[in-house]
Amino acid sequence: MMTAHGDGSRLEGRPNANGFRALVVDNDGDFRESFAMLVAREGFLVTEAASLQEARARLGEQSLEVVFVDLALPDGNGLDLLAAEHHPRPDFVVITGNPTIEAVDDALRQGAIDFLTKPVDYARLHAVLAHLIRRLGRFGPMLGRSLAMQRVYDLISKIAPTHAGVLITGESGTGKELVAETVHQMSRRAGGPFVAVNCGAISPTVIESELFGHEQGSFTGAQKARKGYFEAAHGGTLLLDEITEMPADLQVKLLRVIESGRLMRVGASESVLVDVRVLAATNRDPEKAIRQGKLREDLFWRLNVFQIEVPPLRERGDDVLMLAQHFLTEANQREGVNKRWSERGLRVLQKYSWPGNVRELRNVVERAAIMGRDVIDDPHLSNGDAEHLPLGEGSALLVPLGTRLTEVERNMILATLRMVGGDKAEAARRLGISLKTLYNRLNVYEASGQMRVAGQVKADGQPIIRMGSG
């Protein structure tokens, strides 16, 4: 349903509105309104203008991402808008009912990114807007305009419409599950369920039942039959995250299900037909995992029909600032406030290497939104009057000589947790200790009030510590 606004704008009432603003400039009222509705259907907040004078007023009132402008206006040529200075400058798309080569060439030379001819073909408009949204840094639910992310978007665009398996690799916290969700949303299975399962978070003793389901009485506690994740994802997509954490014997059964489309519930005598597209993700090097016996080679080749590597945040340039602003906007909306970054705060964010990637950035931004004042000057404010210690450059922990070994151990454990974005299983693996030992240490630190490193405190159950270059 279309919602009208007092400022002449309109927003198509759909859940995935992208938040970008568009201006449609055309003196034909009927065409302008119908065209604005088409743009709004793509998730844009749309404002209209009937003349150059109105268009200039709209540009002065608000920040816009794109302007669609007719060349023939009652008070001048639409190209006059392109020639003017605008801060920030939106993208311009020219609309014309008389698409001569000279007119189109002139528009492109003056900075228009594209052109449309009347009557406007909706498929062509959709393609123009899809390209524009990618230029602005959005791709489905994903954010980022860096070249590294544009390459990921290209791969998703190619593989999503097919039925092929996809192996998604990348460091912890880079957004592998979001990549999988985007593949699902852009596939022919988008109307079906998307189910994500973290194989490392399920006990090896129950993972087969969780994946494939079980029959009543098949084991102690199985009081009734239960469908597993595969059947829950029937008609849609199943993501098996941290696939290398799945027991080797279960990987054999998984391969059989993927190849046959049939599964056997625990305790069952007959198989069940399932229609599921299987995606897998891992933060390990797959070939190294095969050599270590963590991943069966035959399963790897079945899953790795197509591979997407998600880049770490440190390789994504200004995406850090875009994501930080996005997370702060989300926090502002939740809390009903209007906090913003200072220039210094943004410089600190951009300077840091983000070993915990996007997950770490989100945690830092949410904490800064809680602790900071109206203008957030330091993303690592620990209290209202702030210790202005800069974030470090690397992923080393600064330990002064003479520090007690117990304190070194505590700082290293909390620093490693921070580096992996709070993933306790991954932290235990990197530290070379059992998960039980890690939990025991954290319980001791919590009880003694020692969940604090380098002036940083625990927030929302996650250790907030400061990393420094070594």
Query: Domains of the chain by range and CATH?
Result: 2-135 (3.40.50.2300), 143-309 (3.40.50.300), 313-391 (1.10.8.60), 394-470 (1.10.10.60)
Least confident of 9-18, 175-184, 192-201: 9-18
Distance CA(16)–CA(269), nearest Å, equals 44
Measured CA angle at 246 (ends 197, 211), to 5 deg: 45
Q: Which residue has the higher pLDDT, 45 or 394?
A: 45
Average of pLDDT values for 304-325? Answer: 93
**Alpha helices (runs of H) in 146-267, residue ranges in sequence order:** 147-159, 176-185, 207-212, 229-232, 248-260
Q: Which residue has the higher pLDDT, 7 or 432?
A: 432
Say if strands 66-70 and 340-341 run parallel, antiparallel, or are unpaired. unpaired
Tokens of 217: 């009485």
pLDDT of residue 392: 38
By residue count, the chain amounts to 470
The pTM assigned to this predicted structure is 0.69
Cis, bond preceding 88 (omega within 30 deg of 0): yes
Least confident of 68-72, 223-227, 336-340, 447-451: 447-451
pLDDT of residue 468: 30
pLDDT class of 60 with cuts at 50, 70, 90: confident
Amino acid identity, position 209: S
pLDDT class of 463 with cuts at 50, 70, 90: very low
Distance CA(337)–CA(333), nearest Å, equals 7
Least confident of 71-75, 389-393, 409-413: 389-393
- pLDDT higher than 90, residue 372: no
- pLDDT higher than 70, residue 450: no
pLDDT of residue 66: 93
The 10s digit of each residue's pLDDT in 61-120 is 888 889 999 998 999 888 888 888 877 789 999 998 887 788 788 888 888 999 899 999
Average of pLDDT values for 120-138? Answer: 88
Tokens of 209: 């039942």
Distance CA(204)–CA(248), nearest Å, equals 10
